[in-house]
Amino acid sequence: TYVWMDADTWLQDPAGLRWLMAASAYADLAGIPTVHRSYVFREHDMTWLVRRYEMAFGRTIAMKLMQHSYMNSGVFASSARSPLWKKFAARFQAALDRWQGDFLSDQAVLNAVSQLDGITTEQLPAQANWICHLARPVWDPRRRLFCAPSMPFEPLMILHNTFNAKQDRHPVRSL
């Protein structure tokens, strides 16, 4: 099993890795849809996503993909024998062949493969890849953990520094 974690992720709880490994045994792809009741999507978040889909696949497929929650490609797992890899390579090459943009998003390709190519996906909760620019985590000093910013303040397993200004300090609320 391959587990991918972007360099801007932080593993707070090893259970996040165990969940990814276990989930990849049940499906071709273990991923985390970008869905949580605390997440706030701004216009630029959605514009960025639809633009990447359009550049890779055209307007028709982009609109079809926008009907689904997207999986952030910064944290996922897949078995070495999964059909994901060949399907991803084929879609990525096709996207490269038609590409006209600033950069090709592997996230767009991963979502196209997961939504359109018949692979099975095991979806883990947001705690396994917390998207920090959509909802800043809170600090629980008693448990000494970063948590989701709404009741019941569930502990996060993997935090993903998706802020545009990655080198900046971002204040967090303490419980």
Give the model confidence (pLDDT) of 14-31 as tens digits. 999 999 999 999 999 999
The pLDDT assigned to 1 comes to 96
Q: What is the pLDDT of residue 75?
A: 98
The whole-number pLDDT of residue 86 equals 97
pLDDT at 82: 97
* Residues 6, 106: Cα–Cα separation, whole Å: 12
- As a whole number of angstroms, the longest Cα–Cα distance in the chain is 53
CA distance 157 to 45: 23
Higher pLDDT, 121 or 56: 121
**Weakest mean pLDDT among 56-60, 144-148, 157-161:** 56-60
Average pLDDT over residues 19-44: 96
Q: Which residues pair with 122 in a beta bridge?
A: 30
- Of the listed ranges 2-16, 46-60, 66-80, 128-142, the least confidently predicted one is 46-60
Q: How many CA atoms lie within 13 A of 50 on its CB side?
A: 12
83: alpha, beta or left? (left if phi > 0; alpha if psi -120 to 50): alpha
